[in-house]
A and B are shown apart, each in its own frame.
Chain A
Amino acid sequence: MRLSVHGLSFRYGSTDAISGIELEAKEGDIIGILGPNGSGKTTLLKCLNRSLTPRAGTVMIDDVDSQTLTRKELATRMGTVPQSANINFPFTALDIVMMGRLPELRRFESESRKDMDIVMEAMAMTNTVQFADRPMDQLSGGERQRVIIARALAQKPKVLLLDEPTLHLDVNHQLEIMDLIAALANMERLIVIIVTHDLALAARYCTKVLLMQNGSIQAAGEVTDVMTMENLRKVFLIEASVYFDERIGAYSVSILRSTRSDGPGDRQ
C-alpha cells in the first residue's frame, strides 16, 4: 500500500496555491502537513481527494492514478474528515456513519449485513456505538468529530485525510482524537495525512512531517530533520525547539518567542 504524489500544482485564478508537491507515504505512516496560514495545506488536501482538480501532477494510490478512478472508486480508497463538519440536522450518528457506505451501494440497494458489520466496526473503533441513535445536533464537538471519523472509516479507505481534526476541541478531546488516529494508522494499516496548526501534536504523533510555505514544500521527512530551529524560524517566524520528552515517549515542542521584526499585529 503506497501513496505517491508527484509535481502536484494548483492555482486559484493566476496565483499558484501549491506547486511541485512531492509526497511518498506507506501504510502505517502518519504524515503531518504543517505551515502558516495561506501556505496551501488545505489546498493540498483538497487536491489529494479531488475536491479540487490539480493543474498538474499525479496522485498515485498503489500505482493507480487517482484521476483515472471514478469518484465512487476514489471514495472506497480515500476517506476525508473535513475541517468543520457542522451537521446541524437531526440525522442520527448511525445515519451519518452509514453514509460512509454510499460509495459501495448501488442506487436502489439497501444496506446489507456486511455493510452493517462494517459500520458497527467503525463505530466500535471510534467509541461512538453508545450514541448511535442520538441526533448529531445533540452531540458534543468531540463526539461529532468521532462520528465523522467513523464515517470515513466506514468507507474502508486505505488513505485517511484529516483537515485540522483537533480544531475547536478542548485539550482532552484533542488527545483522545489523536490517540485514536495513531491507533487507526497502526492497527488498520492506514496512511494518515493530517493538516494541522498544532506543532506539538504534530511532533508527538506524526511519523513524517511536511513543512509548507507559500505553496511549496520547505522541508519533508522525519520530525527531528524537518522541525529544526532553523526551519521553524524560517517558516513560522518563531524561536522554538523540538526535543524528546521521556514522560510521553515522543517528541514535544517548546515555543520560545516570535521572531517577527515588525512586532506583533503586523503582517510579514
Chain B
Amino acid sequence: MAAEDIAELQRAKYARWSIIIVFLSLVLVAAIIICLSIGVVSIPFDQVISILLGGGSERDRHIILNLRLPRVLLGVVVGASLAVAGATMQGLFRNPMASPSVIGISAGAAFGASLALVLGVSWVSGAFAIPAMAFLFAFITLFLVYAVSRDRRGYVPVETLLLAGIAIGALFNALVSALQYFAGDKLSGVVFWLMGGLNNATWDQILISIPAVILGCSIIMTLSRDLNAIMVGEEQAGNLGINVNQVRMVLLLAASLVTAIAVSVAGTIGFVGLIIPHVLRILVGPDHRVLLPASIIGGALFMVATDTLARTIISPAELPVGIITSIMGAPFFIYLLMSRKKSMGW
C-alpha cells in the first residue's frame, strides 16, 4: 500500500459518508410527505406536494399547513435535538448509557417547565414562558452537576459527573412529582405534558426552536474531530493539542441547549437520545463527523414516524408519543443488545 492508497481509503470513506447522509435525507423527506398525507383525512401524496408548493384546495391547505406541518416539523426538531445530544454525550462520556436524561438535564428542564405550567412562574411571559424556564433549569442542572463533580484542580472525572447527574436528576424528578401533587386542577396538564407529545405544535414553537437547534447542532458538529479524539481517550486528546476541559464544557452547553428546547416543546420523550445514536453507530461507524449528522437526520426520522403512529393508532384519539417511543424503543434496543453484543462499539 502506498500514500495513494491511503488517500484512496480516505476518499472512499468520505464518499461513503456522503452517500449515507444523502440517502438518510431522502428517506426523511419521503417520510415527511407520507406522514403529512396520513391522518383522519387522508390526502394523497401528489396533493401534499402541490400544497407544499403553494397549490391545493382551501380545506386541504388548512389541514396540511396549519395542523400537520407544524407538528411534523416540530417532530424533526425534537428528534434531531434528542439524538444529537445523546450522540454527543455518549462520545463525551465514552459511555453507552449516557443521554441527556442520565446527567439530569431532562429532569431539570422538566422541572423548570412544570414551574411555569403549574405556578405560572417564569422570567419571561407569553409564548416563551415554558421554553425559557426549561432552558434556565437545564443550565442550572448542568451547573450543579458540574460544580458537584469538579475537583480542586478543575478536572471533572466522568464517573463523578454521571453519578452527580443521576443524583441531581432524581432530585428534580422528585420536585416535579411534588409539583404534580400540589398542582390541583392543573394536574392533568402537567401529566400530559410530561408524557411527551407534539400535539400542541404551533408555528410559534417552531420559529423559537429552530434557530436555537441549528445553533446547538452547528457548535457540536464543529467539534466533531475533537469529540472523536476525546472518545478515544481524554488524556490522549490533550496530548494531541485539544483543550479537553474547554471542549467538553462547550459540548455539554450545546447539548443542554438542544435538550432544553426539545423538552420545553415536547415534554420528556424517552429513548430517542439513547437508541438512535447506537443504531447509527452500528450503521455508519464511530466517527462523529458522520455520526452526528446521521443522528440528527435519524432522530428526526424516528420522531416523525412515531408521532404519526401516535396520532393515528387509536384514531380519532391519540397516544402521547413518549409512550410509543419507549414501547417501540425498549424492545428494539434489547434486541440490538442481544444480537450484536460484540459490535456495539463499546
Write the chain A residue with the least CB distance to B238: A51
Q: Is residue A90 contacting chain B, with contact meaning CB distance below 8 A?
A: yes
Q: Are B286 and A80 in contact (CB under 8 A)?
A: no
Contacts of A96 in B (CB 8 A): 232
* CB nearest neighbor in A for B286: A89
Best-buried of B6, B9, B228, B233 by chain A (most CB within 10 Å): B6
Contact segment of B56-64, B132-140, B239-247 = B239-247
B239 in contact with A89 (CB, 8 Å):
no
Identify the closest chain B residue to A52 (Cβ). B153
Q: Does B229 contact A (CB under 8 A)?
A: yes
Contacts of B286 in A (CB 8 A): 89-91
B342 nearest CB neighbor, chain A only: A137
**Across the interface, which residues of A come within 8 angstroms of B50, CB to CB?**
none
Interface digits, B302-346 against A, CB 8 Å rule (1 contact, 0 not)?
A: 000000000000000000000000000000000000000001011
- B contacts with A, residue count (CB < 8 A): 29
B236 touches A85 (CB 8 A): yes
> CB distance B287 to A102 under 8 Å?
no
Measured CB to CB, the closest approach of chain B to A73, in angstroms, equals 8
CA distance A99 to B287 in the complex (A): 11
Whether a CB of chain A sits under 8 angstroms from the CB of B2 is: yes
Instruction: Kindly provide the distance from the CB of B59 to the nearest chain A CB, expressed in whole angstroms.
Output: 48
Partner of B239, one of A51, A87, A108, A137: A51
Give the docked Cα–Cα distance between A164 and B254 (Å). Answer: 38
Which B213-229 residues sit within 8 Å CB-CB of chain A? 222, 225, 228-229
Given contacts A100-B240, A116-B10, contact A89 B235 (CB under 8 A): no
A155 to B238, CA, bound (A): 13
| Bound: A105/B242 CA distance, A | 12
Contact of A102 among B3, B10, B222, B229 (CB under 8 A): B229
Given A71-B242, A107-B222, A155-B240: A132 touches B232 (CB 8 Å cut-off): no
Which residues 59-109 of A sit at the B interface, judged by CB distance below 8 A?
70-76, 78-80, 82, 85, 87-91, 94-96, 98-100, 102-103, 105, 107-108
Contact A123 B232, CB 8 Å, known A95-B287, A99-B240, A102-B225: no
Q: Which 4 A-B pairs have the closest CB atoms?
A: A75-B241, A72-B241, A103-B241, A120-B3
Given A75-B241, A76-B241, 11 new contacts (CB under 8 A): A75-B239, A80-B239, A82-B239, A89-B286, A94-B9, A99-B228, A102-B225, A102-B229, A102-B242, A116-B10, A133-B9
> Which residues on B are within 8 Å of A, measured CB to CB?
1-3, 5-7, 9-10, 222, 225, 228-229, 231-233, 235-236, 238-243, 285-287, 343, 345-346
Q: Which residues of A contact B (CB under 8 A)?
A: 49-51, 70-76, 78-80, 82, 85, 87-91, 94-96, 98-100, 102-103, 105, 107-108, 111, 113, 116-117, 119-120, 123, 129-130, 132-133, 137, 155
Could you show 17 A-B contacts with beta carbons less than 8 Å apart? Answer: A80-B236, A82-B236, A88-B345, A89-B232, A90-B285, A91-B228, A91-B285, A94-B10, A100-B240, A102-B225, A102-B240, A108-B222, A113-B7, A129-B1, A130-B1, A132-B5, A132-B6
